[in-house]
A and B are shown apart, each in its own frame.
Chain A
């Protein structure tokens, strides 16, 4: 009889990497559904494109790096990146946008840094920023909420817009989207920003059709859907509470101060919390373990700084939304934060 040798511990929590990643992807589903509902099925097409591109580029890079392909691919991290990127970009962006973004995320940001666990930056956000900087028109042409469109686009129309940049009846993207009025292709955040810069008050800006009580139509629900997904992640202990709570609390706090001091030029807390990529960023992006801080105190600082940066950039920066920039900037600060937030080891100093 042969006895096999192993090192302790001999049992395991049964949590594993791919299950973790798939749980996160699953938690995105409510948000995706909400996006589909409000902005059409373009996001599904984008998702498919991103997933295929991510799998291919990951497999390619792994084989180039002479690593076993399937074990690394099956951990699901590349798919998660693809999903996050796909739901961040405008649903009707041309197909090459998402393809370029995904390839960049996987090849440059992830694999060239050494693969999973070694990337300094959040791949999805790095790719998002690359696209935003390189293709500002396509990246800011967000689809108006379907209900506002004069002629709602069906799945075929959307797919054809994505792939050929023309719908079946030969209207181009801009044409298809501007069918309401000149400004609807902007997101609520963009609208408010533009309005404020034109010396209108926030209230006046929010009189527009695309706004509901608290935030943009649809956007509010998309954000709430991501919040649900995030709470699910917290419940299943896939993510820790520190980062989202710190980030949302800071954002709410800052916007509350701004609102109290200058209600005319500053939107309220709820508007900020329920606009743009706030919830997606708080629960799905900033909590990416690889590029976030690893100590609990560090996570609080990391989350709070992201919240602050988001607020500052939204209000005073050149871009309407800021989650991607804030996350990337804080990614760079992670080693520093980690270094200064090491927990006190048992038996060292303090409590006696």
Chain B
């Protein structure tokens, strides 16, 4: 038995199963040499024309650029630069329809050629041996070369393979009907292609280079044989014409008998495949210093007057190609980018040629008939016989139709190369490939969703645990009285957690695994607390109701609204209000000011309210008692346990107690005075009827308050609007001040106007407040009150990190929005 290498040397070829023989139609476009086109009026250069990330923009609108000048700079993650295909001016940088089946817009540089076609300075390499590996790779990288056969995989990544490469396979098969771009390139530029092969040989040191060309291109085979005669490691192989022998996996099978493992890449079995077009681009980049700015495109089909291959600048609109070659559209015209088997139809001809565009096919409806109606599958398995991957397309189709995604994966849907052979042979004209594509997209989406759900769950549970822990700690602290001697270990752990979480938020998006691990570790550390549901439920309800309560307070002093709200949500509101109050109480005892419910005077009405309504108060009392009982078990003081009247002073205390808050308020006031001196008077603004006496005072107080006031006004307006319909039924309580009834009586429009004014005010105030960063109040500004008393530095760091992240995010978002041109607000 000969070794594989000997067999290959002898010229043995292998077979792949399946395959079809669609009509070739190659002679349409391979009779003329490759033509040069006049410069187009404009060029559209998508930043991303390959698999990987965008490069970073180097030019601005209005810049003059030279031919070959880099327009983007590669960053991380397989990013490639794009270059100016000719000299001219950048006129726009905006999303344009992309050369993708979806034609979804992609950020593109639009430029107009100046007609001079002036090259920038090029630095060709004369002697390959002088360059080390790294320099060569960088040259390929900076020339922006991506696989030109179709997938657009960055060539520098492939060329930098760390796995040993046994065979370099050169793909000159071009098995798709109609396309002759590689054929003509090989005929005319075999020399350069072989040079490109030699560059790759130096980079990868393969044992042999196997050039696979279908036997329907005798001229190309002869040319390649001539050009490579001097290099004994290069073997030119004529392979039988069969679609899709140009598929990477199929070609490897035919030339080397190897099979690429299902989820692997060819390098895993020591094989690397390069398209001849790519190799030509490599030779241009190395020996002439030219980046990838043009490529051969077959413009063909029966509606094309002069079907032939052309050198098209990257970024040339398809329209230009069609116009130059004489295009007479028929009814129901299709314009296909790529070949008839795997190409996709374009929704418009205003789509640019990109690095992977090898053919523009404009057939009439006779040569490529419109697909007929889909008929019933008769399980004839013609598709299975044609499948080059030995799949069972017919079974896959049933599963795809019934959305049985598990089965689809079990039947190896993801090994489908979407070559279209199955659809081609299907007697029932079922668009099989389309079904698979949709199913693949669905499965991918589902998997993403699953990952996201998993992450959401982790985060939710982590949060839940944190809240529980905080509550417990608060109670513990209580026990240990106010002396802050020993800091519990749990606290430290929590801070560390928080930090980790912030870090996670900032950058590490893909670290789901990490998140899971962390959560697991956390759980383990906590002695695997079984999450107590009622606790969470309470917590959540509490949170929600707290928010509602806050709003209520704001809306405020006016009883009618409160009353109304009460009637809306009934007892529940009251209950949760009570809970919130109890909570606030607890917080107050720790001398801690919760930011979520600020403003001393704001909670006053709350107490009043409890007076207002005995029923509510009673319920509140009951709840508070229950809560307190629990607390009592943990050694909390029972004294606070309230009779309804007792709760009132308590609450007040919570408002009065915190010295810290008072200090903060004082400082704020001082600051506000200064601000006032700077001429920032909100008083001058017309007071809208809806706002109460409270608004002006707070306006005077300080800008922060102004913001809050505005918010109150807005919230009120919101409520008012909501209540607009039920207004009339609303019971008016006698205790309400006549003034506060206004929002209800006034028409909602007025309220809206008021809100708008308030918003404007708030915006201004907020901006001002933001500038005053050194404000001591900020010390309180942590998301949750519980962690305020942790080590002073840690929350500080955490907060800063969070803010930084937020600002960065906001910036990014704004930028994105600007690009889309629909700035909200």
Contacts and interface: CB of A to CB of B under 8 A. Distances in A.
Q: Main secondary structure on chain B at its contact with chain A?
A: loop
Contacts of B264: 347
A26 interface: no
Given A7-B433, A71-B375, A352 B389 contact: no
Given A290-B378, A294-B379, A12 B392 contact: no
Contacts of B20: 13
Contacts of A343: 17, 384, 390-392
A16 B389 contact: no
Those 6 A-B pairs whose CB atoms lie nearest each other, nearest first = A9-B420, A289-B380, A347-B262, A7-B434, A117-B376, A116-B376
Nearest to A347: B262
Interface in A304-352: 338, 342-348, 351-352
Contact of B262 (A15, A20, A290, A345): A345
Contacts of B22: 11, 13
Contacts of A116: 375-376, 378
B642 interface: no
Contact of A9 (B253, B341, B375, B391): B341
B329 interface: yes
B429 interface: yes
A17 B259 contact: no
Contacts of B370: 6
A207 interface: no
Contacts of A14: 369
A9 B340 CA distance: 6
A294 B381 contact: yes
Given A7-B437, A294-B394, A345 B389 contact: yes
A16 B372 contact: yes
Interface string B421-450: 101111111010110010000000000000
B388 interface: yes
Contacts of B361: 10
A348 B372 contact: no
A342 B415 CA distance: 14
B269 to A, nearest CB: 7
A295 interface: yes
Contacts of B389: 345-347
Contacts of A3: 333-335, 345-349
B782 interface: no
A72 interface: yes
B258 interface: yes
B384 A289 contact: no
A11 B363 CA distance: 10
A4 B415 contact: no
A8 B427 contact: no
Contacts of B418: 8
Interface hub of B264, B394, B411 (most chain A Cβ within 10 A):
B394
A79 to B, nearest CB: 14
Interface in B648-704: none
Contacts of B261: 347-348, 352
A116 to B, nearest CB: 4
A13 B383 CA distance: 12
A54 to B, nearest CB: 16
A9 B176 CA distance: 11
A295 B423 contact: no
A194 interface: no
Nearest to A15: B427
A240 interface: yes
Contacts, number: 175
A118 B376 CA distance: 9
Contact of B388 (A4, A240, A346): A346
A74 to B, nearest CB: 10
Contacts of A351: 257-259
Given A7-B434, A347-B261, A352 B394 contact: no
B424 A11 contact: yes
B322 to A, nearest CB: 11
A345 B415 contact: yes
Q: Main secondary structure on chain A at its contact with chain B?
A: loop
Interface in B370-421: 370-373, 375-382, 384-385, 388-392, 394-395, 411-412, 415, 418, 420-421
Given A346-B389, A347-B262, 16 more contacts: A4-B332, A10-B336, A10-B343, A10-B363, A12-B423, A13-B22, A15-B382, A71-B373, A72-B376, A116-B378, A117-B379, A294-B379, A343-B390, A344-B390, A346-B253, A351-B258
A64 interface: no
B177 interface: yes
B379 A289 contact: yes
B340 A117 contact: no
Interface string A113-153: 00111100000000000000000000000000000000000
30 contacts: A2-B332, A3-B335, A4-B332, A6-B334, A6-B371, A8-B423, A9-B341, A10-B336, A10-B363, A11-B340, A12-B423, A12-B429, A13-B425, A17-B376, A19-B427, A71-B375, A77-B378, A117-B378, A240-B381, A240-B385, A294-B379, A294-B394, A295-B384, A295-B392, A296-B384, A344-B390, A345-B262, A346-B389, A347-B261, A352-B261
A209 B20 CA distance: 52
A1 B368 contact: no
A77 B379 CA distance: 13
Given A8-B433, A11-B341, A345-B391, A117 B349 contact: no
A194 B380 CA distance: 39
Nearest to A339: B395
A278 to B, nearest CB: 23
A72 B384 CA distance: 24
Contact of B379 (A13, A240, A290, A342): A290
A8 B243 CA distance: 14
Contact of B260 (A8, A10, A117, A347): A347
B415 to A, nearest CB: 5
Interface in A86-101: none
B415 A8 contact: no
Interface in A1-53: 1-17, 19-20
A11 B368 contact: yes
Interface in A226-249: 240
Interface string B336-376: 10101111111111000000000001010001111111011
Given A3-B349, A16-B372, A240-B385, A348 B412 contact: yes
B427 A342 contact: no
A75 interface: yes
A9 B415 contact: no
B249 interface: yes
B259 A1 contact: no
A347 B329 contact: no
A12 B573 CA distance: 67
A75 B388 CA distance: 28
A184 to B, nearest CB: 40
B423 A346 contact: no
B420 A17 contact: no
B200 to A, nearest CB: 24
Contacts of A240: 381, 385
B378 A289 contact: yes
Nearest to B425: A13
B376 A13 contact: no
Given A10-B336, A294-B395, A1 B375 contact: no
Contacts of B411: 342
Contacts of A4: 332-334, 345
Contacts of B379: 117, 289-290, 292, 294
A352 B425 contact: no
Nearest to B335: A3
Contacts of A77: 378
A116 B346 CA distance: 35
Contacts of B363: 10
Contacts of B390: 343-346
B138 to A, nearest CB: 33
Interface string B252-289: 01000111111010000100000000000000000000
